[in-house]
Amino acid sequence: MNAFQFYNPTSIVFGEGTADRVGELTARYGKNVLFVYGSGSIKKTGLHARTLSRLAEAGITVHELPNIEPNPRLTTVNKGIALCREHGIDFILAVGGGSVIDASKAIAAGTLYEGDVWDFYSRKAVVQQALPIGTILTLAATGSEMNGGTVVTNWEENQKQSFVSPHTYPVFSILDPTLTYTVPRNHTVYGSVDIMSHVFEQYFSLTPNTPLQERFCESILQTVIENVEIAIAKPDDAAARANLMWCGTMALNGGQISVGMENDWSSHGIEHEVSAIYDIPHGAGLAVLFPNWMKYVYKQRVDRFVQFAQRVWGISGEGMSDDEIALAGIQATRDFFTRIGAESRLADFGIGEENLDRMAEEAVKYGNIGSFKPLGKDDVHAILTLSL
């Protein structure tokens, strides 16, 4: 286990009915709020009207920024920054999934920065300050509700980039699992794949002596596996939705489950290149890529893949070699993603060879990616080719 420092400032308010506390919680931080949301799901569910009522009761002035896209766009973020400056906004409330929360973080940091907010994503500048943000989460997936990360797409340049800052952790996040009953099947699946992928990025590590962290990771994977199909079959299953939501938050909240471990994150880097050109849902891309990354790198540490196969998938391994057990665990992962309805090939999205070279080049534009097996351009190209 390596030396580490861990701090997470986000206050989590979890449970049915907690969305009604949004006025009281927001009033602790601001009086003049930008209310950010997506393309309409919260209007259909009534959460939009309910949020406005609670904010009004708390005496809060509200300005709205609707229509945050899935895979949020820099142009929309810039609209938000302009609104914040025009109205002297002192707090941002994000109500939605990871895209809404990520865009809100960008707006929060960009408003207090004189330059172009894209500088943070293109590594030209580091965030020094941001407006406070709070969230009401409506989709279990990214962990953005309890981390400092944000991913935004500069569509004109086909660049999907991220940054992580201690200044962009939400001050509070309301996690009411009943708000996720309306998440459609495909996003329930993609969100669950994303949660599992966040764990994979941390679990497949070369750092020795991390038994507690490994078991945290395995317990999240098992809990997601046990609950996704229940949520698909019965979207308003309270227990399954609550478990998925808490798994999502715990899987990526500043590294709590993997403190002292080197993380990988190369599959995420590759997926962002695919989304940057083809605008596919993040979890869908990960379902295609991750098992192929696993196949490509497992020999770096076969024992970790054997442990994964045995503990997470219950493969006994009797009479099998370590390589066979490791590969059986990878196949079980692929089969599970397929069973719950995720795509397994880039071709399922109409993606062919045409941009493989460009995506591989972009993925390594700041240098090799990953730590489990550092990947150069040829490696990324090979993983993309396996995924066609």
245-264: contacts with ligand NZQ (CB under 6 A): 252
Cβ atoms of 113 and 65 closer than 8 Å? no
Structure tokens at 181: 């009953």
CB of 232 to ligand NZQ, least distance (A): 14
State yes or no: residue 138 binds ligand NZQ (CB under 6 A).
yes
State yes or no: residue 102 binds Zn ion (CB under 5 A).
no
What is the rounded CA–CA span in Å between residue 295 and residue 314? 19
178-197: contacts with Zn ion (CB under 5 A): 194
In terms of CB distance, is 132 or 191 closer to ligand NZQ? 191
State yes or no: residue 371 binds ligand NZQ (CB under 6 A).
no
State yes or no: residue 142 binds ligand NZQ (CB under 6 A).
yes
Quick one: which segment of 78-86, 166-174, 177-185, 214-222 binds ligand NZQ (CB under 6 A)? 177-185
In terms of CB distance, is 190 or 306 closer to ligand NZQ? 190
Closest by CA position to 274, among listed 369, 381, 174, 185: 381
Q: 65 phi and psi, to 5 degrees?
A: -125, 95
In terms of CB distance, is 70 or 329 closer to ligand NZQ? 70
Closest by CA position to 133, among listed 148, 119, 117: 148
Element housing 13 (H / E)? strand 11-14
Structure tokens at 344: 């397994």
State yes or no: residue 41 binds ligand NZQ (CB under 6 A).
yes
Quick one: which segment of 165-173, 181-189, 307-315, 335-343 binds ligand NZQ (CB under 6 A)? 181-189
CB of 338 to Zn ion, least distance (A): 19
Cβ atoms of 34 and 86 closer than 8 Å? no
CA distances from 319 to 315, 322, 323, 332 (A): 11, 10, 12, 18
CB of 286 to ligand NZQ, least distance (A): 8
Cβ atoms of 51 and 22 closer than 8 Å? yes
Closest by CA position to 253, among listed 125, 124, 128, 101: 101
Q: Considering only CA atoms, give the Rg of the chain.
A: 20
Q: Within 13 Å and on the Cβ side, how many CA atoms surround 342?
A: 30
Structure tokens at 314: 């219950």
CB of 214 to ligand NZQ, least distance (A): 21
Q: Which residue has the tokens 């991913």?
A: 151
Q: How many Cβ atoms sit within 10 Å of the Cβ of residue 122?
A: 14
CB of 163 to ligand NZQ, least distance (A): 10
191-230: contacts with ligand NZQ (CB under 6 A): 191, 194
Element housing 154 (H / E)? strand 149-154
What is the rounded CA–CA span in Å between residue 222 and residue 253? 18
State yes or no: residue 40 binds ligand NZQ (CB under 6 A).
yes
Quick one: which segment of 34-42, 302-310, 314-322, 378-386 binds ligand NZQ (CB under 6 A)? 34-42
- The amino acid present at 192, given as its one-letter code, is S
In terms of CB distance, is 194 or 362 closer to Zn ion? 194
In the set 54, 73, 241, 282, which binds ligand NZQ (CB under 6 A)? 282
CB of 282 to Zn ion, least distance (A): 6
CB of 226 to ligand NZQ, least distance (A): 21
294-333: contacts with ligand NZQ (CB under 6 A): none
In terms of CB distance, is 103 or 315 closer to ligand NZQ? 103
- Give the residues lining the site for ligand NZQ (CB under 6 A): 38-42, 70-71, 96-100, 102, 138-139, 141-144, 147, 149-151, 179-180, 182-183, 187, 191, 194, 252, 268, 282-283
- Give the residues lining the site for Zn ion (CB under 5 A): 194
